[in-house]
A = this chain, B = another copy of it.
Amino acid sequence: MCWCGSTEVYQDVMNHEAFQTLEAFETALKNNLALIPPSMIYAYASLKMGIPFANGSPNLNVDIPALVELSIKNSTPIGGKDFKTGQTLMKTIIAPGLKARMLGLEGWFSSNILGNRDGEVLDDPDSFRSKEVTKGSVLESILQDDLYPDLYGNYYHKIRIEYYPPRGDAKEGWDNIDIQGWLGQKMQLKINFLCRDSILAAPVVLDLVLFLDLAQRAGMRGVQEWLSFYFKSPQCRPDLKPVNSLFDQDDKLRNTLRIIMGEKVIDHSGLDYYENKG
């Protein structure tokens, strides 16, 4: 099952006791706890029946301890959250490139215009807050500001989503990126992405359905972190940071598949290149 519904209102419930264990969650369900959003009920039903579940929206959904517990108990792989399709896809392509070249970041301003119901829903500040959370954290794990405070310790990241009916089912992102090179010299990068949300999301849905089915057949369960490639805010173990770079995610996806197939992983190490030479 793959959740593709609109964004739900943001709720900071991660620490609420009803979501910490499966037992507490099932009790809360029976008591009709109002805090439980609709998408979470669908997710529960899916996992209860042993059907793998992917969360394409920024809602918490399966991203609570109770449902991770159920997914492990029922040997049901899960993945989430929020399909990575437009502006955030580009962000996790470009940020690793700037980082690789150690170009400092002063600011990243992202504006989006959307015309359909998705945009209308996100015009509501409470719904936008859910999106802001999944979209806002992608730079941190890529830039490693703890290792490079001079370059990435103080950038300003602002994201806007604007309902704009003339755009219809299409979507448009505009990014302005302020970077710094040697001697503190300032440079700017502007990205204008004229795209279509459903066209970018549909293959993500298909890939996830196929890979979650494969995972279940291969005996994998719980959070499928190797499918982070498809998500804005990859669900991961509480003691780890998510990987956001599209290229690290791509390496992980492909090398995990190679391991499942019993093939050697690819690491691009270069010395064999010279050994072959002899």
A189/B191 in contact, CB under 8 A: yes
CA distance A252 to B274 in the complex (A): 13
Of A34-42, A56-64, A171-179, the one touching chain B: A171-179
Q: Given A100-B247, A270-B252, are A182 and B203 also a contact pair (CB < 8 Å)?
A: yes
A160/B158 in contact, CB under 8 A: no
Q: Given A248-B268, A273-B237, are A166 and B194 also a contact pair (CB < 8 Å)?
A: no
- Which B-chain residue is minimally distant from A248 (CB atoms)? B268
Copies in the complex: 4
Instruction: Tell me which of B100, B156, B270 contacts A246 (CB under 8 A).
Output: B100
B107/A162 in contact, CB under 8 A: no
What distance in Å separates the Cβ of A262 from its nearest Cβ neighbour in chain B?
A: 12
B270/A267 in contact, CB under 8 A: no
B269/A255 in contact, CB under 8 A: yes
The interface residues of chain B lying within 8 Å CB-to-CB of A96 are: 93, 247
**Is A28 in contact with chain B by the CB < 8 A criterion?**
no
- Which B-chain residue is minimally distant from A277 (CB atoms)? B237
Q: Given A100-B250, A255-B267, A269-B256, are A106 and B166 also a contact pair (CB < 8 Å)?
A: yes
The interface residues of chain B lying within 8 Å CB-to-CB of A199 are: 181-183, 185, 187
CA distance A191 to B267 in the complex (A): 30
**Is A113 in contact with chain B by the CB < 8 A criterion?**
yes
CA distance A199 to B181 in the complex (A): 6
**Is A97 in contact with chain B by the CB < 8 A criterion?**
yes
The interface residues of chain B lying within 8 Å CB-to-CB of A253 are: 270
**Is A200 in contact with chain B by the CB < 8 A criterion?**
yes
- Which B-chain residue is minimally distant from A204 (CB atoms)? B101
A-B contact pairs, 22 of them (CB 8 A): A89-B101, A100-B246, A102-B203, A106-B166, A155-B166, A156-B164, A156-B166, A181-B203, A183-B199, A185-B196, A185-B199, A187-B195, A190-B190, A190-B193, A191-B191, A191-B192, A192-B192, A222-B277, A226-B271, A237-B273, A255-B269, A256-B269
Which 7 A-B pairs rank lowest in CB-CB distance, beginning with the nearest? Answer: A107-B166, A93-B97, A226-B270, A251-B268, A181-B199, A247-B247, A255-B269
